[in-house]
Structures are given as structure tokens and as C-alpha cells.
């Protein structure tokens, strides 16, 4: 931290609601870094951070109950129990992520449903109909979009083409191997994020298929490494740094009583076409 940060007594906390290892998660680490940089400009520091999994830890609970910070940023979708706990102990809360919350909090969203729907539309425009889904499925808008777009195009949903796996490279690898072990019909995969997609790419190659000649892969986030894997990953660009900056701005404005009504801001996204998607060559 710089000299300015040391002088500051104003502070915020971050809770990683979807990741047990946020420091090694490119999405959350980028989000946090941009929040820290923006907060520092306003004379705030990120005093501590914890995951939703830490909430039952006595030391973490003491920090929360003692309310040692001026506000909290929730990164990634929370369950109702976590939200209830935060509401009891924090008056100043901002949420940022891809799944909008049904809660009266300030929110900075990049619409995960619309993002995944556009990714699916792109695959279908390339002629793909046997499209697999790899990622979390429970209460996940990206999976809802996957199903809804297939229905929109009168494409039968095949449960052999979907798998509920943790958001990780290993989850992606295991999920793709599972699907490829059941069927040879799949011609494309929608992956819940880039980290998962990297595991999927490896599984496809280990199963003696080529990307994109045999199977196309599209994902969501556009983290830096996505352009350095081989083949380079086609992905939906999420403005992660802007989400972090905006979340910090709104939270600090809330702390300073700059606004009273809950704000909901939606940031734009776009498709980044690289090497991992191609025209479907199988009927």
C-alpha cells in the first residue's frame, strides 16, 4: 500500500461469494485489484477479504460482527443465507457479478444471461446444434440461457451433452471427458468461463479431437490467458476491471451518503472471435 493508504482510516472489505481461492482466480483477482486501485484514489483501503466459506470461521465472524470496515463489496453470486448474514452486519453493501441479485443492494452487473445467450447464438450461426454445456447449473443464469436458446431454435436438449462441474480447469477437463465418453455427437461446447474452457481444450485434445475442426469451444470472461492458449480462445469479453472500479465508486458514494436508493448498473460485453470456433462440419 502507498503512503496515502496508510494515512487513511476509511476501509472496505471484500467477500468472494463464488470462489474458495480467489487469489488464484483470474476473474476475481482482476476484479479485486481494480477495486483496490479505485478505492485508494478515494482514500480507502481494502482492509480484509474473505470467502463465503469463511463466514463460519470464528476469527472471520469476529471481524464482521465488530464491523471494522465502512462497507463491503460482494463479488460473485451469494446464496440467501450469506446475504441475510451480511444484511445483519453491514449497512453499506455493493454487489458485482454476472447474476443479478434479488435484493435491495447496489449492484454492478454484466448480464450473464445475455452474454451466454449471445455465445449460443454465435455457435448456432456457425451451424452447430449438438452443443454441450460445461459448468455450474444450479441457479446459474448462463445455464438457463443455454437451455432457452436451444428451445428458441427448436433444438432438443440432450442431457448427455451437459455436465455440472466446479468452475475450474480440472472441472472443465473432467466434464468434457465425461461428455465425450458418452457421445460422439457433440460439435461445440459452451463453457461457463475461460478457466473452465482451458480444461475443456485439453480434454478434447487428449480425446484425439481437434479444435475447432471437430469441436468448437466458446467461453465467457476474456481473461488475459485466453489469448495465449492454443488454439486461442473465442470468448465473450466481460469488462472485469470496469466492474471493479464501478463497484468501488458506488460503495464509497454509498458510504459517504451520496445516494440513498439502490442503484443497478449494467455494463456492456462483446464477442471476441479467436481460433477455437469454426463452422460445423458434421451433420
**CB of 35 within 8 A of CB of 247?**
yes
Q: Where are the beta strands (DSSP E) in the chain?
A: 10-16, 44-51, 71-75, 93-97, 106-109, 131-135, 162-164, 188-191, 216-221, 234-237, 264-266, 270-272
Q: What is the pLDDT of residue 3?
A: 42
3-class secondary structure, 163: strand
Low-confidence ranges of the chain (pLDDT < 70): 1-8, 18-24, 52, 63, 67, 283
Q: What is the pLDDT of residue 101?
A: 83
Q: What percent of the chain lies above the pLDDT cut of 70? A: 92
- Give the pLDDT confidence of 178-228 residue by residue, as tens digits: 999 999 999 999 999 999 999 999 999 999 999 999 999 999 999 999 999
Q: What is the mean pLDDT of the chain?
A: 89
As a whole number of angstroms, the distance between CA 17 and CA 30 comes to 15
Provide the whole-model pTM. Answer: 0.89
Q: What is the pLDDT of residue 80?
A: 74
* CATH numbers and ranges of domains, the chain: 3-110+238-269 (3.40.50.2300), 112-237 (3.40.50.2300)
Q: What percent of the chain lies above the pLDDT cut of 90? A: 65
Amino acid at each position: 500500500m502507498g503512503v496515502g493508504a496508510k494515512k487513511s482510516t476509511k476501509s472496505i472489505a471484500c467477500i468472494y461469494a463464488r470462489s474458495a481461492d480467489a487469489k488464484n482466480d483470474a476473474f476475481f483477482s482482476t476484479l479485486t485489484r481494480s477495486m483496490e486501485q479505485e478505492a485508494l484514489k478515494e482514500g480507502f483501503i481494502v482492509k480484509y477479504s474473505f470467502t463465503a466459506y469463511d463466514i463460519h470461521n470464528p476469527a472471520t465472524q469476529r471481524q464482521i460482527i465488530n464491523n471494522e470496515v465502512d462497507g463491503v463489496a460482494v463479488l460473485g453470486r451469494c446464496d440467501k443465507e450469506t446475504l441475510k448474514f451480511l444484511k445483519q452486519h453491514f449497512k453499506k453493501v455493493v454487489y458485482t457479478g454476472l447474476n443479478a441479485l434479488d435484493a435491495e443492494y447496489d449492484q454492478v452487473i454484466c448480464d450473464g444471461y445475455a452474454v451466454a445467450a449471445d455465445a449460443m447464438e454465435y455457435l448456432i450461426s456457425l451451424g452447430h446444434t449438438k452443443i454441450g454445456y460445461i459448468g455450474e447449473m444450479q441457479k446459474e443464469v448462463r445455464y438457463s440461457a443455454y437451455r432457452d436458446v436451444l428451445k428458441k431454435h427448436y433444438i432438443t436438449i440432450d442431457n448427455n451433452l451437459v455436465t455440472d462441474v466446479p468452475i475450474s480447469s480440472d472441472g472443465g477437463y473432467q466434464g468434457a471427458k465425461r461428455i465425450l465418453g458418452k457421445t460422439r455427437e457433440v460439435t461445440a461446447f459452451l463453457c461457463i468461463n475461460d478457466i473452465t474452457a482451458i480444461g475443456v481444450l485439453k480434454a478434447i485434445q487428449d480425446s484425439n479431437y481437434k479444435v475447432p475442426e471437430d469441436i468448437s469451444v466458446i467461453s465467457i470472461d476474456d481473461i488475459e490467458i485466453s489469448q495465449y492458449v492454443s488454439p486461442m480462445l473465442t470468448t465473450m469479453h466481460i469488462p472485469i476491471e470496469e466492474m471493479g472500479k464501478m463497484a468501488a465508486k458506488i460503495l464509497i458514494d454509498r458510504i459517504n451518503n451520496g445516494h440513498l436508493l439502490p442503484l443497478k448498473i449494467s455494463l456492456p460485453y462483446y464477442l471476441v472471435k479467436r481460433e477455437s470456433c469454426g463452422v460445423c462440419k458434421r451433420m
